[in-house]
Every structure is written in C-alpha cells, then in structure tokens.
Structure 1
C-alpha cells in the first residue's frame, strides 16, 4: 500500500479533515460515552461523531421528554412532592421513552467498543490522511489549540468552544438548541431580574421543564470541546512526526535497546 497517497482510500485511517471539521477516531472509555447517553440520549453518539444517530436521539429526547412531562416530574421529586410527580407523568409517552433511552446507552457503549478496535487497527496500518482542505465555504487544517480556551468559551455559550476547534456540525446543533432552551426556559429574563436583585421575579419567570435541559447541554459542550481539543493536538503531533520522519529522517536511522544507531 502506498503510504504517500493522501486521498483517504486506505482500508482504515485515523482521521479526515474536511470543510465541516476534523473527524477522528481514538481510544475512548465506553463507560464515559454510555454515561453521556444516559445524561442525554444522543450525546454519546455525538462524541463518537455519529451525527445522524446523535441528532435523531437528541430530538427524540426533547420531544418525548416534553410530552411525557419527565423534567416536570423530576422537579416535583426534588421538592419531595412524589404524588404530584406521579400524577403529572403521561404514561402514553413514558412507555415509549424507556426502550429508546436504554437503546441509546447500549448502542453508544457497543459502538465505542467497536471503534476502539478499529482505531487499534488503523493505528497499526498508520496510513496517511489529509491534513489541510480549502473549499468554497471554509478552510480547515490541523493545528494545536488550547483546551482551556475551548472549555472557557463553552461556558460562556454552549457551542462556542466547538466552533473554536472547528467542529462545525456539532457546534451549530448545540448553538441552535441552546437558543431554543434559553428562549423557552426564560433563562436570560431570570438572569436580568437577578442583576436587579428581584429574586422572586427571577424564580417565577423560569420554566423548569426547559431549564432542566441546560445542565446536560452545558456539560456536554464543555466536555466535548475540551477532550476534542486534546485529541486534535495529539493527532497534529502524530501527523507532524510521521511527515518529518518520512521526509527528513535518515533512512538508516535505527533505535536498538534505547540506543540510537545511525
């Protein structure tokens, strides 16, 4: 196989740089990915760059959660109003919620295990992949970024940290839903009232059913942007090391038992 071919025609390769972002596979902890699916169905798949499944499961979670009144029941449970929590739940929606919720956890775990195996094989084959792209809509290339900055921007607004590292598809999806959740939960109105010291009005204006979507959204945005930045930095270093070894390293260079022999 020609390792200098840069057209992503290998049987397996570790990454692909496109106008919409840098997609790569790397070793992941299946339990962490499954946990994110448990926190919010769809997030585990988005971590794996399984966008179609991730988008479908996310939208399904929002729609079914809303009609089943799950978040509202959680609020009543937190307040100790167990009977109100049981009464508010709509079992017609709840009974279709449970199997898909469990599927999201199981499938993200299973996919992570499979992708870890694929990564090990791709790492062994070590085929060259594209690291730079120019298109009519965007320019993207491998480089190093600051993980802390990605995390900070995500704290300001979910999705900004993902834009910083050029994960366009996930960033756009997260930003759109963050705006929807801000609007429907009246979160920014509550913040405005807090600035003026009107705590009661801030509490009254909030819609808890939509507000409860925020912890998972913020957590995912910060986690994904930080970890993706770290992994992109590793990918950049590996690609740079491979290129320098192929083009500048002496062909007779060897390492034997920790000693360099030329």
Structure 2
C-alpha cells in the first residue's frame, strides 16, 4: 500500500520506495563509481542500484579471478616473487578476465554520467514519488537514519548496515558473499588461533586467494551504507519540506532577500 504510486504517469521520478528498498537517483561522482568498479567489478553498479548488472559482474569476478589465480599472483607480486606470480597465472582465464574488468569500469562511469543528467531533469520536473510501501512480508518508508550507526554495523559484518537502511537486495547479496569469503579464506579460524598465540599456525591455515576479496568487500559495504544513509536522509528532508509547503504554507508566502513577504 503506497501513499503515492510511481505509475509512470510522470516522465521521470527521483526515487521509488518498495518493500525491497529505496532506489533513488542523485548526483554522483563518476570517477568514484569507476574506482569502485576497478576495486571489485560489480560494486560500481551496485552503488547505482543496477543490481542485475552488478551481480553478474561480481560473480564473474569471483569465478574467473579464482580460475585465473589473479589474487594469488598479486600476493606473490607483493612479496617480490614475480616469477612465481607469472607461473601461477592461467592465461586461458586471464584473457577473458581483462576485457570484462575494463567493461565494468567503463560502463559504471558511463551510466553515472547518464544518471546525473537524468537526475537534473527529474529534479526540475519535481514529480511526487511514493514514500511508504506496505506488503505482506515487509514494509519500507522514508525516515532519517544515523550514518555512523550504518558504518558501525557494516564494520561488524558487511551487509548489516544495508539492512539498517533497508537496502534488502544489496544486504542479502553482501551477507551471502561475506560468508563465502570467510569460509574459504579460513580467516575466523586464523583469528581464533591468533588469540591463542599460535601465530605460525594462524598464518598456515589462511587461504590468501580468498582472503584478498575481503578488504574490498568490507570497504564497499561500509561506503555504500554510509553514502545511502546520507542520501536517504536528504530525500526524506526534501519530501517533508515539499509536503509542508503544499499543505501548510500560505499561498502568498514569499521570501525575498532574507525577508519574509506576505
């Protein structure tokens, strides 16, 4: 049940509130979006709420990266063992990896530029959008959230910050994959051994090929939760302002050079 429905009677909408989350268009820096796609293909598209494309690129990155041993080669490179890095790389997979990796960066940059233009048009048209959605299994509504809390929960477990601000699709995806990365990297087992003082044993159980996925995953989850909390708060304040102006402000009310004019 919605107070307004985005029924496509208007040409453009700035936002849409559904039981699965709040999707909105706002101004973004295309270089930052492109950078996240470079850090991990798919992240740039997820920041833009382009979920299907983001999921496809993310899964491609994990599968082909593991098959080509890109992360393992990076670990050897960091250690200065260049010959070993060259030896572990599987060129059959690597040659497929590079074009898709570059496509993810280019497409997220291009899409951001297009969405910035669409936002400027949608902002000038200023059509009303739904702010409340009630379904059989979930509900969602615009309100203010604390960005610090979003960051805090994301640092505990990636995906919890997205649950806090009701980005359900991103939250489920991020939580699923952080479990996969934890399991195959053996990081929790290594942390347990580290607390017991067994440093060498902790190092030996770690799988660096899977471990290297985690820093980008944590960084993305934290950034996405923080950024979307800020933008949702802006959207909430703007919608409240427009509602109060429409329903409570006198029609002859004007503000001119800092003075109220009636």
Offset of 1:137 from its aligned partner?
Answer: 1.1
- CA distance in 1 between counterparts of 2:144 and 2:110 reads 31
What does the per-residue CA deviation read over 1:67-117, in whole Å, with 9 as the maximum and x for residues that have no partner?
A: 000000000001110000001100000001111100000000000000000
CA distance in 2, matches of 1:201, 1:126: 60
- Partner residue in 2 for 1:6: 4
Q: Distance in 2 between matches of 1:239 and 1:142?
A: 9
Gaps of 5+ in 2: none
Partner of 1:89: 89
Q: What is the rounded CA distance, in whole Å, between the counterparts of 1:165 and 1:6 in structure 2? A: 21
Which residue of structure 1 lines up, in the alignment, with residue 210 of structure 2? 210
Q: Which residue of 2 aligns with 1:43?
A: 43
Look up the SS of the partner of 1:181 in the other structure. helix
Q: What secondary structure does 1:144 align onto?
A: coil
- What is the CA–CA distance in structure 1 between the aligned matches of 2:78 and 2:101, rounded to whole Å? 21
Residue aligning to 2:159: 159
Q: Which residue of 2 aligns with 1:107?
A: 107
Aligned 1:1-262 pairs, distance under 5 A: 6-8=4-6, 9=8, 10-262=10-262
Q: Secondary structure at the match of 2:171?
A: helix
SS at structure 2 position matched to 1:217:
helix
Distance in 1 of aligned mates of 2:236 and 2:204 = 49
* Pairwise CA distance, 1:177: 0.2
- The TM-score normalised by the length of structure 2 is 0.97
Q: Residue deviations 1:26-72, cap 9 Å, x none?
A: 00000000000000000000000000000000000000000000000
Shift of 1:229: 0.2
Please give the per-residue CA displacement for 1:171-230, whole angstroms capped at 9, x wherever unaligned. 000000000000000010001011111111110000000000001000000000000000
Aligned residues, how many?
258
| Cα distance in structure 2, aligned partners of 1:125 and 1:224 | 27
SS, match of residue 161 in structure 2: helix
Measure the CA separation in 1 of the matches of 2:233 and 2:190. Answer: 39
> For residues 138 and 6 of structure 1, what CA distance do their matches in structure 2 show?
18
**2: CA distance, partners of 1:140 / 1:116:** 25
> Once superposed, which parts of structure 1, at least 4 consecutive aligned residues long, lie more than 2 Å away?
255-259
- Cα distance in 1, alignment partners of residues 191 and 70 from structure 2: 25
Structure 1: gaps spanning 5 or more residues: none
SS in 2 for 1:231: helix
- Paired with 1:153 and 1:109, the residues of 2 have a C-alpha distance of 29
What's the RMSD between the two structures over aligned residues?
0.8
